[in-house]
Amino acid sequence: RLLQSPLCAGCGSDKQRCWCRQALEQFHQLSQVLHRLSLLERVSAEAVTSTLHQVTKERMEDRCRGEYERSFLREFHKWIERVVGWLGKVFLQDGPARPASPEAGNTLRRWRCHVQRFFYRIYASLRIEELFSIIRDFPDSRPAVEDLKYCLERTDQRQQLLLSLKAALETRLLHPGVNTCDIITLYISAIKALRVLDPSMVILEVACEPVRRYLRTREDTVRQIVAGLTGDSDGTGDLAVELSKTDPASLETGQDSEDDSGEPEDWVPDPVDADPGKSSSKRRSSDIISLLVSIYGSKDLFINEYRSLLADRLLHQFSFSPEREIRNVELLKLRFGEAPMHFCEVMLKDMADSRRINANIREEDEKRPAEEQPPFGVYAVILSSEFWPPFKDEKLEVPEDIREALEVYCKKYEKLKAMRTLSWKHTLGLVTMDVELADRTLSVAVTPVQAVVLLYFQDQASWTLDELSKVVKMPVALLRRRMSVWLQQGVLREEPAGTFSVVEEERPHDRDSLVLIDSDEDSDSGMASQADQKEEELLLFWTYIQAMLTNLESLSLERIYSMLRMFVVTGPALAEIDLQELQGFLQKKVRDQQLVYSAGVYRLPKSCS
């Protein structure tokens, strides 16, 4: 049961001594006097306005701030009608029992419009202030977005929203402390939320331009987007769902044209702050993937990154799913076109052919006597090198027994495939091995480099880093990083510094010790990085640049770039290399003393010319 308060809610006195009725009667008498003198609204307007504004703000702060999952418009419309009823007690001068005069009715309508406009303005300001959090919580915050859209249609606060949202994004999102994956995730939420708020997509285009510009400066942006498209990234799973839509917007043919715009009566003009140089229908029909791809303006970056990710997955996972990869390629073909995805189809075909060849060789081995069986199994992935992305140029000297096993496999392959042979990439692939020590046995899956390093400890229990580096033919810094897995597993110990030995028997304090190794995902990849590939592409232009400077003596950066675009028709597409990248390449040549830069032009040094 609810306990009723003995005090009046209006005056705060005991209910038996409540004076609210008398105060209301006196208030009506005073209002009637002021009304007869035509002073009522002039005297009371400022006080009424101040009271209305204060009460509305307090109610909104109490009920709406931080609450995004339900709409408040209907609730406040009802509350505003109650407020208008209170205003009727102030301005209705003909008495409660008789109808109001036309003049009083007009006054009430004017005050109703004033209260509604004030509510829309401060409610929109509140939601604009919270828009970053609303976008972050979308789609749970969809009611708040729809409320804000309703208010913006009745107020002139678009510019306030644009300035506030851009400032919030730059302050809270666009700084080194935020992961690229988190920036992409919030940008995707912004696309969804702002599409509801503004179907013309102009707010998204203007407010999120700093996000797009900042993402271009992050080295891992393309990799994170591609990982999200293929379902390999936890933070950007919406991209995989977007990719699997049955009727995607193709990036091969572009978006709808201006002529394909539906029924004429459904046409809605763009807002006045829209960029007139950009297609309205293309802006409105852009989906999440096309907007992310347009950050760089070229789909080739994404296709090349997908090839690298696919190659890494195929070469470094025993249990990859062919069905899943085929599905991803088919979905990407719908987005990017069939021709760009042809290389990926060949890569998957290579994997299927390799499984069949390995099965044939294994079947032949099983027919041999036990003494002729190979000491360990070799399962090769046979690549069509022209269709796979560039590999890192790493060298590795494998032990003699490994080399012999690979030669035996190569001869078996040559019997199956006449006129063909194999060229081994020793640093690529995976090795499953059992490491038998005095008191324990470890079953591990490691890279070929890590396996070869440990095999050298079979014949010699202790190695210095320099000695092992010479035998393996690998730089010391890279070798130390590759050995980190054996330090973490407790198989090797570095003692003293620079000398590694096998830990046959684990000591009690070794179980409690922890070796911290700085991880670097890119270093574990067998693919050449995008930066390495870009450097290689630019090197192909170096011959052209030298010839131009030999004939013309000196050229500006812009002239070199335009001449390359005009005359270079073979090799990599120059459209993929922008002016800034070419400038960085030329400046590197200046530092290497292969070019001279003076007075805004480049020339060859005198020794070269």
Alpha-carbon gap, residue 434 to 446, rounded angstroms: 11
On whether the 530-603 domain is CATH 1.20.140.10, my answer is no
pLDDT at 541: 77
Chain position carrying tokens 């193709």:
250
**pLDDT attached to residue 608:** 53
As a whole number of angstroms, the distance between CA 160 and CA 23 comes to 44
Q: Which is more confidently placed, 444 or 9?
A: 444
pLDDT tens, position by position, 94-103? 444 445 556 6
Q: Which residues touch 220 (CB under 8 Å, ≥6 apart)? A: 180
* Tokens matching residue 98: 């008789």
pLDDT tens digits for range 287-297: 788 888 888 87
Residue 442 belongs to what H/E stretch? strand 441-446
pLDDT > 80? residue 245: no
Residue that is written with structure tokens 């044939």 in the block? 360
Average confidence (pLDDT) over 504-508: 73
- pLDDT tens, position by position, 138-186: 889 999 999 999 999 888 888 999 999 999 999 999 888 889 889 999 9
Q: Where does CATH 1.10.10.10 sit in the chain?
A: 429-524, 530-603
Cα–Cα distance, 257 to 476 (Å, whole number): 58
Q: In whole numbers, what is the pLDDT of the chain averaged over residues?
A: 78
What does the alpha-carbon distance between residue 158 and residue 229 come to, in Å, rounded to a whole number? Answer: 33
Phi, psi of 12, deg, nearest 5: 80, 5
Paired tokens of 184: 């992409």
Q: What is the pLDDT of residue 164?
A: 92
Q: What is the pLDDT of residue 140?
A: 92
The 3-state DSSP class for residue 602 equals: strand
Residues 6+ apart with CB under 8 A from 412: 361, 364
The answer to whether residues 210 and 169 touch, using CB atoms and an 8 Å cutoff, is yes
Q: Which residues pair with 14 in a beta bridge?
A: 7
Burial class (CB in 10 A: 0-12, 13-18, 19+), 313: middle
Residue 144, pLDDT score? 93
Long-range contacts, stretch 414-423, CB < 8 angstroms, 24+ apart:
416/357, 416/360, 416/361, 417/357, 422/380, 422/382
- β strands within 465-584, DSSP E: 492-494, 499-502, 554-555
541-593: pLDDT as tens digits: 788 888 888 888 888 888 888 887 776 554 444 445 667 778 888 888 888 88
133: pLDDT strictly greater than 50: yes
So what's the architecture of 429-524 in CATH?
A: Orthogonal Bundle (1.10)
**The pLDDT of residue 259:** 44
pLDDT exceeds 80 at position 358: yes
Yes or no: say if 314 and 347 are a contact pair by the CB < 8 Å rule.
Answer: yes
SS3 432: strand
Is the pLDDT assigned to residue 239 strictly greater than 70? Answer: yes
What pLDDT is attached to residue 285?
53
pLDDT of residue 254: 47
Q: What is the pTM of this model?
A: 0.70
Confidence grade of residue 519 (pLDDT, cut at 50, 70, 90): very low
Name the 3-class secondary structure at 374.
coil
Measure the CA–CA gap between 387 and 384, rounded to whole angstroms.
6
In this model, does residue 496 exceed pLDDT 70? yes
pLDDT in tens, 375-391: 778 888 888 878 888 88
Instruction: State the sign of the Cα–Cα–Cα–Cα dihedral 67, 70, 73, 77.
Output: negative
Does the pLDDT of residue 437 top 80, yes or no? Answer: yes
Q: How many residues does the chain have?
A: 609
Helix crossing, 102-129 with 158-172: angle to 10°?
20
What are the DSSP calls for 224-291, one per residue? HHHHHHTT--STTHHHHHHHT-SSPPPSSS-S--TT----GGG--PPPTTS-TTS-HHHHHH--HHHH
Q: pLDDT per residue over 50-61, tens digit each?
A: 878 888 888 888
* C-beta of residue 561 within 8 angstroms of C-beta of residue 579: yes
| 524 or 341, which is more confident | 341
Q: Where residue 131 falls among pLDDT bands split at 50, 70, 90? A: very high
The Cα–Cα gap between 608 and 543 comes to: 13
